[in-house]
């Protein structure tokens, strides 16, 4: 089996270059056949990751890392939940962009309506003039509370697209492959950029 950490490192480096993972912000994970997953360690620059900057999380919550000083990302609880709610998912990516945070404040309710762009097809929305909403969740200092909110809402109302926003925090996507997760991040960030620019110029 090919170790997914190389692809996670490449994705993190690219997102860092786009200023979507500045400093130590954001987290990426990839699921393994045994149900465990690699996730970026807390406090590591996403532009300079190595294999030793990941923690392996098992379904029972046990963790392993090459460095005993490493701690898993603060958002690990959200990744665990996504893999549980969407069993076919093989990757979960979370980035922090300016546009995502701006869009998260365009509305005060729990969803934001996305423009009916062609890009939505890349997220699995194959409809003419689609009405597509992205769920928004309140940011909490304790990430477990965010995970609880996601679980409560998604168990009753699964999202139309594999993405969610945390207000003033960032966007999270999940996908059936690492390549697809990277594409999803690019697509949603394009849509966010479009939304910010249309508001700026008054369209």
Structure tokens at 50: 């190595």
Distance (Å, rounded) from C-alpha 56 to C-alpha 66? Answer: 9
Q: Can you give the pLDDT at residue 61?
A: 78
119-169 pLDDT, tens digit per residue, is: 999 999 998 889 999 999 999 999 999 999 999 999 999 999 999 999 999
Write down the mean pLDDT value for the chain. Answer: 94
Q: Can you give the pLDDT at residue 67?
A: 64
User: Averaged over 19-46, what is the pLDDT?
Assistant: 94
Which residues are annotated binding-site positions?
94, 96
Q: What domain range is 108 assigned to?
A: 5-201
Q: For the CA atoms of the chain, what is the radius of gyration?
A: 16
3-state secondary structure of 159: coil
41: domain CATH number? 3.40.225.10
Q: Can you give the pLDDT at residue 191?
A: 97
Do residues 195 and 103 touch, judged by C-beta distance below 8 A?
Answer: yes
Residue 19 has pLDDT above 70, yes or no: yes
Q: Which residues 6+ apart lie within 8 Å of 89 measured at CB?
A: 31, 82, 83, 162, 174, 175, 176
Q: Which residues of the chain form beta strands (DSSP E)?
A: 27-31, 37-40, 54-57, 63-65, 91-95, 111-114, 132-137, 163-166, 170-175
From the centroid of its chain, how far is CA 199?
A: 24
Q: Can you give the pLDDT at residue 50?
A: 93
Q: Can you give the pLDDT at residue 66?
A: 59
Do residues 99 and 93 touch, judged by C-beta distance below 8 A?
Answer: no
Which residues are annotated binding-site positions for Zn(2+)?
94, 96
User: Averaged over 8-34, what is the pLDDT?
Assistant: 95
| Long-range Cβ contacts of 78-87 (<8 Å, 24+ apart) | 78/143, 78/146, 78/147, 78/150, 78/172, 79/27, 79/29, 79/37, 79/39, 80/147, 81/147, 81/150, 81/151, 82/172, 82/174, 83/31, 83/35, 83/37, 83/174, 85/151, 85/154, 85/155, 86/162, 86/174
Structure tokens at 203: 């369209």
Number of separate domains in the chain: 1
Q: What is the pTM of this model?
A: 0.95
Distance (Å, rounded) from C-alpha 54 to C-alpha 71? Answer: 9
Residue 57 has pLDDT above 90, yes or no: yes
């Amino acid at each position: 089996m090919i170790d997914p950490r190389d692809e996670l490192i490449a994705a993190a480096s690219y997102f860092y270059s786009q200023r979507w993972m500045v400093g130590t912000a954001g987290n990426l994970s990839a699921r393994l056949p045994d149900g465990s997953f690699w996730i970026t360690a807390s406090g590591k620059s996403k532009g300079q990751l190595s294999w030793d900057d990941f923690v392996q999380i098992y379904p029972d919550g046990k963790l392993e890392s090459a460095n005993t000083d490493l701690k898993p990302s603060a958002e690990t609880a959200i990744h665990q939940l996504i893999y549980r709610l969407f069993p076919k998912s093989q990757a979960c990516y979370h980035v922090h962009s300016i546009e995502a945070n701006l869009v998260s404040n365009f509305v005060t309710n729990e969803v934001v309506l996305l423009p009916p762009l062609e890009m939505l097809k890349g997220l699995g929305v194959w409809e003419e003039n689609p009405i597509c909403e992205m769920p928004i969740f309140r940011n909490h200092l304790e990430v477990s509370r965010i995970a609880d909110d996601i679980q409560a809402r998604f168990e009753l109302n699964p999202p139309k697209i594999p993405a969610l926003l945390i207000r003033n925090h960032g966007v999270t996507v999940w996908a059936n492959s690492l390549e697809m997760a990277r594409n999803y991040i690019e697509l949603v960030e394009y849509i966010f950029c479009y939304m910010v620019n249309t508001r700026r110029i008054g369209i």
